[in-house]
Amino acid sequence: MPRLDNEPDLEHPRMFDSSRELLYIQISDRYGLIRGPRMASDIITLAHGAGGSVMQSLIKQYVLKHLGGANVEVPLAALDDAAVVDGIVFKSDSYTVKPIFFPGGDIGRLAICGTVNDICMIGGEPLALAEGFILEEGLSLSDFDRILLSMRKTCDEAGVPIVTGDTKVMERGALEKIVINSSGIGKRNASLDHDLSEVRQYRNCDSQWLLDSNVRKGDKIILSGTIGDHGISVLSAREGYGFETRIESDAAPLNHLTNDMLRVGGIVAMKDPTRGGLANLLNEWSEKSHVGILLREQNIPIKEGVRSACEMLGLDVMEIGNEGKVVAAVVPEKVEDVLAVMRRCSVGKEAMIIGEATSEFYVVAMETVVGGRRIIPPPAGDPVPRIC
Ligand code: MG
């Protein structure tokens, strides 16, 4: 492993403050160095919140050790998009995005979309949300008002109300402007039983919900549209890169799209490629479902501006977070019908079949545009920290 100019001091770990350092961790992780001094240290880094393998090991080694024992329908230990308790879908998520306003969205829109979408991904229909605000002394009331208005509009778009919440203030310097905790409940989607009965026309499926562990060889993988938009939009707003093309976040509630998809049926799993992007999502499916996933690079939609920004910054678009996309695993007999209904929806009009599950191998691999195959490893974390 060559030494890098920007290599952090592993003997004296500290908080990470740039995506470049996180990139270093990813490189270290791929060379098997991540479980060295850094993981042994007693310090939380930005990588622990970046949605990749570093965060996964924090959750498994610490959170699940103490809190993972509940015996409910879909428990915390499943590490899926949401939990299910007595048929009620339940989800909580916190938002720390920096900056709080960015092209195509803001922290308020993200908080609504993220929670609504996670409830949908498991086969739920979101009913109501709870929003907890932690404000920093000094935040302007006009900024807070702008965030609340954006939340109201996003709730109207999704058709899901906020029914409870909480407001706290911390002293100046204790956090950056605002942090939002967003929780939500949902009921079983009215079309989920129909969806799973369509699956069972063609193969076995014991699961009652759309879980990460449901994918089987032969299932087709659909992606609802372009990847990387959200992460690149936030990064460019934060760093002021001034890319030629203005890239807007894709943050959007997906409940109308997923309702339409379930009405067609044949879907076994759904997940939103948020932190850690498509690479993290597919590796979670591969690991939990014990299948390989083979992608076709040429079928993965990427905006030209996002592609060139990634090339310029040395980022892998597969690892960048999205906030308005869904990936679905569908039985092959129903895939064209699901795709057709997705393309009629504004947030799914660029949907593509990007690959399929296989038993030929047990990793995520991609057939590249030049004809080779490359392994897509689980990212250590999203290369752009604090995107949500
Ligand atoms: Mg999710």
Q: Kindly tell me if the per-residue pLDDT of 40 is higher than 80.
A: no
Is it true that domain 190-380 has CATH number 3.40.190.10?
Answer: no
Q: Kindly tell me if the per-residue pLDDT of 24 is higher than 50.
A: no
Q: How far apart are CA 201 and CA 333, in angstroms?
A: 10
Task: Say what the pLDDT of residue 243 is.
Answer: 76
> Which of the residue ranges 51-60, 110-119, 267-276, 289-298 would you say has the lowest mean pLDDT?
51-60
Q: Ligand 1: distance of its center to the CA of 383 in Å?
A: 18
Q: Ligand 1: distance of its center to the CA of 296 in Å?
A: 23
Residue 37: CB atoms within 10 A of its CB come to: 13
Q: Ligand 1: distance of its center to the CA of 40 in Å?
A: 28
Q: Ligand 1: distance of its center to the CA of 184 in Å?
A: 13
How large is the average pLDDT for residues 207-234?
Answer: 98
Q: Ligand 1: distance of its center to the CA of 197 in Å?
A: 24
> Which of the residue ranges 45-49, 239-243, 259-263, 317-321 would you say has the lowest mean pLDDT?
239-243
27, 28, 39, 180, 273 from 43: Cα distances, Å:
20, 17, 8, 24, 27
How large is the average pLDDT for residues 4-26?
Answer: 41
Q: Ligand 1: distance of its center to the CA of 372 in Å?
A: 30
How large is the average pLDDT for residues 145-159?
Answer: 98
Domain ranges of the chain: 1-77, 80-188, 190-380
Q: Ligand 1: distance of its center to the CA of 360 in Å?
A: 27
Q: Ligand 1: distance of its center to the CA of 11 in Å?
A: 34
Q: Ligand 1: distance of its center to the CA of 227 in Å?
A: 15
Task: Say what the pLDDT of residue 165 is.
Answer: 97
Q: Ligand 1: distance of its center to the CA of 30 in Å?
A: 24
How large is the average pLDDT for residues 140-166?
Answer: 98
User: Which run of H or E residues covers position 365?
Assistant: strand 364-367
Q: Kindly tell me if the per-residue pLDDT of 245 is higher than 80.
A: no
Q: Kindly tell me if the per-residue pLDDT of 168 is higher than 50.
A: yes
How large is the average pLDDT for residues 261-288?
Answer: 97
Q: Kindly tell me if the per-residue pLDDT of 222 is higher than 70.
A: yes
151 CB-near residues (< 8 Å, 6+ apart): 108, 109, 111, 112, 131, 162
Q: Ligand 1: distance of its center to the CA of 370 in Å?
A: 32
Q: Ligand 1: distance of its center to the CA of 88 in Å?
A: 17
Torsion angle of C-alpha atoms 17, 23, 25, 30, degrees rounded to 10:
170
pLDDT band at 257 (very low <50, low <70, confident <90, very high): very high
DSSP state of 252: -
Q: Ligand 1: distance of its center to the CA of 133 in Å?
A: 21
| Pair 258, 271: CB distance under 8 Å | no
pLDDT in tens, 84-102: 999 999 999 999 999 999 9
Q: Ligand 1: distance of its center to the CA of 120 in Å?
A: 9
What average pLDDT does the structure give for the chain? Answer: 90
Q: Kindly tell me if the per-residue pLDDT of 235 is higher than 70.
A: yes
Note the CATH number of domain 80-188.
Answer: 3.30.1330.10
pLDDT band at 145 (very low <50, low <70, confident <90, very high): very high
pLDDT in tens, 125-138: 999 999 999 999 99
Report residue 207 as tokens: 């699961």
* Three-state SS annotation for 270-330: EECCCCCHHHHHHHHHHHHHCCEEEEEHHHCCCCHHHHHHHHHHCCCHHHCCCCCCCEEEE
pLDDT band at 298 (very low <50, low <70, confident <90, very high): very high
Q: Ligand 1: distance of its center to the CA of 329 in Å?
A: 15
Q: Ligand 1: distance of its center to the CA of 6 in Å?
A: 32
Q: Ligand 1: distance of its center to the CA of 10 in Å?
A: 32
Q: Ligand 1: distance of its center to the CA of 117 in Å?
A: 7
Q: Ligand 1: distance of its center to the CA of 118 in Å?
A: 5
Q: Kindly tell me if the per-residue pLDDT of 346 is higher than 90.
A: yes
3-state helix vs strand vs coil in the chain, percent to 5: 40, 20, 40
| Pair 382, 48: CB distance under 8 Å | no
Residue 167: CB atoms within 10 A of its CB come to: 10
Q: Ligand 1: distance of its center to the CA of 252 in Å?
A: 13
Q: Ligand 1: distance of its center to the CA of 81 in Å?
A: 4
Q: Ligand 1: distance of its center to the CA of 106 in Å?
A: 18
Task: Say what the pLDDT of residue 385 is.
Answer: 86
* pTM of the predicted protein model: 0.89
**Residue 107: which of 76, 131, 84, 124 has the closest Cα?**
131
Task: Say what the pLDDT of residue 21 is.
Answer: 46
Q: Kindly tell me if the per-residue pLDDT of 34 is higher than 80.
A: no
Q: Ligand 1: distance of its center to the CA of 5 in Å?
A: 35
